[in-house]
Chain A
Amino acid sequence: MPRIVLEHVTKCFDKFVAVDDLNLVIEDRDFITLLGPSGCGKTTTLRMIAGLETPTKGRITIGDTVVFDSEEGIDISPAKRDIGFLFQNYALWPHMTVYDNIAFGLENLKWPKKKIEERVKEMMAMLKIEQFEKRFPSELSGGQQQRVAIARTLAPKPRVLFMDEPLSNLDAKLRLEMRSELKRLHVDTDSTFVYVTHDQLEAMALATKICLMNKAVLQQYDPPLVVYNKPVNLFVADFVGNPTMNFINATGERKGFNDVFVHMLGKDLVFHSSETIDGDVSDLVIGIRPEFVKLGEGNFNGVVYTTLPSGMETTVKVKHGEDMVTSVVFGSVDFSHSLDMPFSIVSDNIIMFEKASGKRIAIGSLS
């Protein structure tokens, strides 16, 4: 079964390094999202696995086949890698009907006519595009074209499906709809999906594992909730989650293996972790998710700065001296500005980062 392994994959465009020494194992039937800010090398990574771009160095294995190895000079053509690729602007053949678009790839694979017809019908039913069978792509809406593109890509039953920001051309509502259908499709088709996006919500919602990149370098490769709850560094913590995590500067002093005295927000507190805390604790950044900031009572005294209701939940920014603390409150509330607002920080999932390196050194609670 296909398991994709990337070993020391590097891609340079002249002197510019687009992907730097990437090591990644994609298990069979995973739904991987490549996530990261613009220009971090997501598309390049995807295209290298698909064979549309030649890595400068490294080795890529799909299933039992080495499809690329810079040292042994192996480079298997994209068509032979048994993969599907969903392009951002769909790349449907404009002069072919929906039916022909889906059938074209199968004809190239020399499937018998009867089987092609069955498969195309099956795909059209699966993606609910039967009524468009005889239409040309230009006669379809963006979302419908998207479905045709997916049907076309899935028709030859590829072992792996690659998608490069496939939903970015769709409007917000359709995007949500297609998102859930993609996830459903992943279960139905039993194949491996690799999905590029720079939308962290999309990545969280879809993936079984997120591969978060920044500036050509892999930052963290974990399931979404792990990335969310245990970010390995400040970049990951900042990139994932909306509204973003609160980062509060602090100074610390070691109290024991598992405890650190922390001075933050004008108070002396104790940070307790269930594991040993390694690293330099003198200069710290404490990361607190907005949902851990409870408003209304507590020993911190802030002042309401802004209130941003979004219906189901409300984001409240509270000013505390020099620091700004963001909190998320369930339901709609509307605090008047400059209202005195006490708050507390309640969680055992507070993250301690080393300030100099930005690395996470502990997860624990504050008291």
Chain B
Amino acid sequence: MALGRKNNAAGYILILPALIMLAVFVIYPMFMNIVMSFRNYSLLRVGDQNIGLQNYQDLISDSRVWAAVSRTFVWTIANVIGALLIGMGSALLLFAGFKGSGIIKSMILIPWVLPSVITGYIWSLMLQEDAGIITYILKSLGIVAHDFSWFRTGPLSMSAAIMANMWRAFPFFSLMIFAKLSSVPQDYIEASELEGVSPWQRFRYVLFPFIKPTVTICTYLCFIWSFNAYDILKVMTNGGPAELTTTMSIMVQREAFQFYEISRASAMSIIMFFIMLAVLLLAKVLLAAKRRLSNGR
């Protein structure tokens, strides 16, 4: 027993550096974030005091905040659906196999491991209005007008950023779903072959039930990651034009590091957290209800 206790102490000592780092760079800032949100701390003023829920009240009655919330939802939902569909489609293609699918399997993760700031810059360059390759091709094919720009209107800017983010996010789905598909027992696939089911039915009744849990988890993760996503939007549109692509994370960042209103930014980030939590809880409740319903038949 004495030996066991000694080993435990050694264990704690070994994880201590990591714990300290975690405490200093994650736990303490998180705690301070909560504290700050109840004060009126600003880098432009000297001194700050406790103002209770004032920040929250201001933010909730600010229509700009609500506009950002709704844009965040547009951004998130478009990204989740897009990445999910492309990810699932590419996973099925890889699973069916084609010439060269082996190489693609090993390369498909590249967009995912690329730093998203770089992804943002690459896409900005490709979509740039004069020299961007994509815009150039669209213009020379006559699909868009000569003075076309991706970044002049809100919806187009948003679509450009969504495209870039989807490109970055889908490989994760592909790989996770592909891995799950590969673990579907061969017997099931052969049984469906013998029963002569159509490709769609094979997906719907044989493959999908197997990958469903993976898809669910991937959807949750993609939701969280997109909801928080910041770098690609920052690099490509910086929230513009005229705040039309300003999502909550862009707004929080601007409030804190451009306007130096630290407390307002803290409160905003906490609101963001609760919105995200609410959505996830709602999804969980709905899924549970659906399961109860389908079991109770």
Docked complex Cα distance between A105 and B198 (Å): 11
**B191 contacts the other chain (CB 8 A):** yes
Which residue in B185, B187, B188, B194 is a CB contact (below 8 Å) of A79? B194
Shortest Cβ distance from B196 into chain A, in angstroms? Answer: 3
User: Does B195 contact A104, Cβ atoms closer than 8 Å?
Assistant: yes
User: Does A79 contact B205, Cβ atoms closer than 8 Å?
Assistant: no
User: Does A77 contact B193, Cβ atoms closer than 8 Å?
Assistant: yes
Docked complex Cα distance between A95 and B206 (Å): 9
Which residue in B185, B193, B198, B209 is a CB contact (below 8 Å) of A52? B193
User: Does B206 contact A78, Cβ atoms closer than 8 Å?
Assistant: no
* Cβ-closest chain A residue relative to B189: A91
Docked complex Cα distance between A324 and B190 (Å): 49
Shortest Cβ distance from A158 into chain B, in angstroms? Answer: 9
**B24 contacts the other chain (CB 8 A):** no
Shortest Cβ distance from B81 into chain A, in angstroms? Answer: 24
Contacts of B198 in A (CB 8 A): 108
Contacts of B193 in A (CB 8 A): 52, 77-79
**A243 contacts the other chain (CB 8 A):** no
Interface secondary structure of B, over-half rule? helix
Contacts of B194 in A (CB 8 A): 50, 52, 78-79, 83-85
User: Does A79 contact B196, Cβ atoms closer than 8 Å?
Assistant: yes
Within 8 A of A (CB), among B183-212: 185, 187-188, 190-191, 193-198, 201, 205-206, 209
* Cβ-closest chain B residue relative to A89: B187
Residue from A50, A78, A84 with most neighbouring chain B CB atoms (10 Å): A78
User: Does B195 contact A52, Cβ atoms closer than 8 Å?
Assistant: no
Docked complex Cα distance between A104 and B195 (Å): 8
Contacts of A105 in B (CB 8 A): 195
**A94 contacts the other chain (CB 8 A):** yes
Within 8 A of B (CB), among A70-114: 77-80, 83-85, 87-89, 91, 93-96, 104-105, 108-109
Residue from B191, B193, B194, B209 with most neighbouring chain A CB atoms (10 Å): B194
Contacts of B196 in A (CB 8 A): 77-80, 108-109
Shortest Cβ distance from B203 into chain A, in angstroms? Answer: 13
Contacts of B190 in A (CB 8 A): 52, 78, 85, 87, 91
Contacts of A108 in B (CB 8 A): 195-198, 201
Q: Point out residues on B near A: beta carbons under 8 Å.
A: 185, 187-188, 190-191, 193-198, 201, 205-206, 209
Other than the given A78-B193, A84-B194, A108-B201, 16 more pairs (CB < 8 A) read A50-B194, A77-B193, A79-B193, A79-B196, A80-B196, A85-B194, A91-B187, A91-B191, A93-B205, A93-B209, A96-B205, A104-B195, A104-B197, A104-B205, A105-B195, A108-B197
The 4 closest A-B pairs by CB, nearest first: A79-B196, A91-B187, A105-B195, A95-B209
11 pairs across A/B with beta carbons < 8 Å?
A: A50-B194, A77-B196, A79-B194, A79-B195, A84-B194, A89-B185, A91-B185, A91-B188, A93-B188, A104-B205, A108-B197
